[in-house]
Amino acid sequence: MLGRASDKGKAKAMILRAPNPWPEGSDYDQDHATPCFAEDPPHDDRPGEARRPKIPPERRAGRGAASNRSGRYEPKAREAVDDGWGALETEEALTPLRTEVTFERPKTIITRNDSPDIPFDRSINPYRGCEHGCVYCYARPTHAYMGLSPGLDFETRLFVKEGAAAMLEHELSAPNYTPKVIAIGTNTDPYQPIERRHRIMRDVLEVLSKANHPVGITTKSALCTRDIDLLAPMAAKGLVRVGLSITTLDRRLARGMEPRASTPDRRLEAIRQLSEAGIPTSVMVAPIIPGVTDSEIEAILERAHEAGARSAGYVMLRLPLEVQDIFGEWLLENAPDKYRRVMSLMRSMREGKLYDSTFGKRMTGTGAYAGITGRRFEAAAQRLGFNENRARLRTDLFIQPVRPGGQMSLF
């Protein structure tokens, strides 16, 4: 196997056939085989990355992305090529990718933002990267800041924010700190699989609980039910709400798009357990993927309401930067017959582009299709009784932590 490096923008990518990862004779073998293009078809809308050699399916089993292209800040684009001696088929080259964890100590743990189209101004992300491997994840491009690929690196090379709880307690104790709802899970999932071992989210929740600080949590993992013993008392004080994100009810589709996230049924069961414990629970139909999951909006809302969710929201598929290529090649590999329609609908919502980061438009899109989809969601949510009594989380109960050597309150 030879490593090939090329100056970005100068290399011309070309591939005649993308490998079919599904076993011969399986249900996917015929329905999802990737087509062979002798040359780019007219008005080819396939991403450049989709025409590049991919990581062999054996190596990326249980992963979302199919490639590992260099991050956008790297001066060289590197990829493995076959030297003609079968080097790409050796046992070492086909060994499944393992999850690697690196510990880091960031300077701060609370991230601030002033975005006008999101309902919070601060957030915490216990981890960088996400082992769930959701192929559509809009957070993937952030891995390029670490000199890593938004592709497979994002789901296999993870960073644990060691000492996050102590750092949070220190920041909450600042004399000028004013409590507002902290959002957790807005970038990477705090309950991804490595949380079982490292328990950073659990430690953060313990600090927030002790300080009576309000928090909103978003996750795709049923692991959140582990912390009901902390969440229920906080909910009784009006300090917490939890949102479960459900993209599809189709277990097989979810397995392909979100390979290491909890199954849809387990997420619905988590909603039921949280609701029964008195914890305000919501469902996020997110993302809605045009031409793939948009037909399930009403069904997801119905199942979530039956499980106990009483508030709901949605977000349209977002494809910033490298996510366009990563999602595009997944679609070509798994549902090539839907590729052109999906991308056409995406462009219809983004004024001819695959993504528009404009505040107020990026979450819902614009145009006829986006409008119809939004109205469908709103009609179903209203019919089922969602969003009728959404209480605000309380900030008046906040107990500021005392710094070492500081004066404790007398009252």
Please say if the pLDDT value at position 14 is more than 60: no
CA distance 275 to 264: 17
Q: How much is the pLDDT for 367?
A: 96
CA atoms within 13 A on the CB side of 410: 0
CA distance 192 to 396: 31
Q: How much is the pLDDT for 409?
A: 56
pLDDT band at 71 (very low <50, low <70, confident <90, very high): confident
Beta-bridged to residue 161, according to DSSP, are 104
**pTM value?**
0.84
| Least confident among 56-60, 303-307, 331-335, 386-390 | 56-60
Runs of H (alpha helix) within 39-159: 152-156
Q: How much is the pLDDT for 70?
A: 87
Write out the two tokens for 11: 């290399």
Write out the two tokens for 22: 């599904």
Alpha carbon of residue 86 to chain centroid: 36
Please say if the pLDDT value at position 324 is more than 70: yes
Evaluate the omega torsion of the peptide bond into residue 320 and state whether it is cis, within 30 degrees of 0.
Answer: no
Could you tell me which CATH number the domain at 100-384 has? Answer: 3.80.30.30
Q: How much is the pLDDT for 37?
A: 31
| Least confident among 151-160, 162-171, 259-268, 384-393 | 384-393
Query: If you search the block for the tokens 């399916």, which residue do you land on?
Result: 57
In the chain, where the domains are located: 100-384
Q: How much is the pLDDT for 93?
A: 61
CA distance 334 to 60: 14
Task: Calculate mean pLDDT across residues 275-297.
Answer: 98
- Residue 237 dihedral angles phi and psi, to the nearest 5°: -95, 0
Please say if the pLDDT value at position 382 is more than 80: yes
Which stretch, 42-56, 60-74, 366-380, has highest mean pLDDT? 366-380
